[in-house]
Amino acid sequence: MPKRALITGITGQDGSYLAEQLLGEGLEVFGMVRRSSTETFERIAHLRDRVTLVQADLLDQTSVIRALQRAEPQEVYNLAAQSFVPTSFEQPELTAQYTALGVTRMLEGIRAVDKRIRFYQASSSEMFGKVRESPQSERTPFHPRSPYAVAKAYGHFMTVNYRESYGLFACSGILFNHESPRRGLEFVTRKITDGVARIKHGLARELRLGNLDARRDWGFAGDYVRMMVAMLRQDRPDDYVVASGETHSVRELCQIAFARAGLDWERHVVVDASFIRPAEVDLLVGDPAKAGRELGWQPTVDFRGLVEMMVDADLARIGQAVARRELRH
Ligand code: NAP
Ligand code: G4F
């Protein structure tokens, strides 16, 4: 019988790449999805006949237990979360329910259903926040700067605690920003590449952004999901930073993205104070040495390659929509 994996958040960016990865390895893949009045399965449309979707919600402990009983997985990847930092300032309590307590519900579900299940928790470089040192490694203390980051720090420590208290095979992947043509449109990379495509095709003239000086360590999501799997295939559970080791500003991102479409970013980008956050994370740059040593981490796409891949995909997508008259000037 093939090994089975359950992915929470399968309809998100990472969930779709991870499902592809696990199917490619011959696993039977189950995806946990929450009920919605309209389907949100666009990112996994090409996989629909190869994955089994199970309805459950991280807010509902019983539904989580039923999903685990139904899938009988050997591996669980907990990717579901309220993952957008600005929304966490507007909805801090809901963010804590999904992003923090949701982790406890998954861990309790595993304790109740089968303690042998290997568990991956999607932790975040946002936990480093107001950074104490650069680059940030597994040993860098956390200083979260948003309700999202506080919730992720809780999820991280619960994962460590259930490993130490109950002997669960539970790993926390501290992943730095990773992007792709499947990234949500509100995140800055995709907002910029989608904006470039709209301007290029004459659908818009300006792009309104917040803090152009913020620096992030950006990589390609397809590379990062391989590390989630690698963590669960180790002999011993542990926590890992996954990052490119490079940092770039939002301004540099704009320069490369607009130039790819033959545009001058300074003629189109407008700084809009409404996108400035109550507390900012100014600089992230990760030290992926441990992942390199123990998991064989080697990203295949660099920063420029990532931005150009995303611009090209959005130019093609918007161009096709214009040609089909779904979008009009
Ligand atoms: P994403 O695209 O926003 O996807 C989030 C997923 O969570 C979606 O499938 C969403 O389902 C699901 N979800 C949200 N609330 C849920 C609930 N109550 N019950 C069940 N499912 C729920 O996020 P992503 O970029 O793929 O990131 C995956 C995970 O990694 C997240 O936990 C994120 O916080 C974390 N992370 C991401 C990055 C990054 O740079 N991408 C870096 C570090 C950590 P719907 O489709 O129904 O909304
Ligand atoms: O793309 P962002 O919204 O990502 P952020 O806040 O770094 O969070 C992402 O990465 C985390 C890993 O570190 C994940 F855990 C989290 O789930 C999410 O995937 O913003 C990046 C930077 C910020 O400093 C922001 O202030 O871009 C800056 N920015 C400037 N203008 C903007 C904008 N961000 C957004 N979303 N929209 C803007 O207009």
Read off the pLDDT band of 323 (50, 70, 90). very high
Per-residue model confidence as pLDDT tens digits over 190-237:
999 999 999 999 999 999 999 999 999 999 999 999 999 999 999 999
Task: Please check whether residue 106 is in contact with residue 158, taking contact to mean a CB–CB distance below 8 angstroms.
Answer: no
- Measure the CA–CA gap between 262 and 257, rounded to whole angstroms: 9
| Distance (Å) from CA 187 to ligand 2 centroid | 6
Cβ 192 vs Cβ 254: under 8 Å: yes
Is 172 buried (19+), middle (13-18) or exposed (0-12) by CB count in 10 A?
buried
Taking alpha carbons only, the member of 122, 151, 153 closest to residue 140 is 153
Q: Which ligand is nearest to the CA of 241?
A: 1
CATH level 3 topology of 4-179+219-242: Rossmann fold (3.40.50)
Name the burial class of residue 58, with classes exposed (0-12), middle (13-18) and buried (19+) by CB atoms within 10 angstroms of its CB.
buried
Express each pLDDT in 162-187 by its tens digit. 999 999 999 999 999 999 999 999 99
For all residues of the chain together, what is the average pLDDT? 97
Classify domain 188-216+246-284+301-328 by CATH number: 3.90.25.10
Closest ligand (CA of 43): 1
Ligand 2 close to Cβ of residue 88 (< 6 A): no
pTM of the model: 0.98
Query: Is-catalytic flag, 83?
Result: no
Q: What is the pLDDT of residue 327?
A: 77
Domain range summary for the chain, segments of one domain joined by + = 4-179+219-242, 188-216+246-284+301-328
Catalytically annotated residue among 16, 124, 172, 244? 124
**Maximum alpha-carbon separation in the chain:** 59
Q: How far is the CA of 225 from the centre of ligand 2 (A)?
A: 19
